[in-house]
Amino acid sequence: MPRTLKLLRETVSVLLESTPPGLDLDAVRTHLLAQPHVLGVHDLHASQITTGLPVLTAHVVVEDSCFSDGHAPRVLDRLQACLAENFDMSVEHSTFQLEAAAHADHELAAHG
């Protein structure tokens, strides 16, 4: 019975796309904002697609120069490494949408 209840809780958590236990989104945001060239983070979401496999998505506002001088891929690599290395629950599957600062002005205010 205890094993069944544990499995049921985990299944419901996955189905509801709950933030994985032990992953603090405020801490994630703080770490992402500390990366070079990052100006802002919004639409930050984390869930589990199966038990023990957390995924994270976010819109990341970066300096406009990232798009003109070709270092956007390095920024992306740093963001992904930050998630995989800095938290008790390693997030190895992440999707980031890099945005220029001017683009963030059109985002809906509710997407903070």
Dump pLDDT digits (tens) for 34-80: 999 999 999 999 888 766 778 899 999 999 999 999 889 999 999 99
Give per-residue pLDDT as tens, 71-111.
Answer: 899 999 999 998 888 877 677 788 999 999 887 666 555 44
DSSP string, 58-102: EEEEE-THHHHSS-HHHHHHHHHHHHHHSSSS---EEEEEEEEHH
Beta carbons of 26 and 12 less than 8 angstroms apart: no
- Comparing CA positions, the residue from 86, 81, 37, 88 lying closest to residue 62 is 37
Terminal CA-to-CA distance of the chain, rounded, Å?
41
Length of the chain: 112
Note the pTM of the prediction, 2 decimals: 0.75
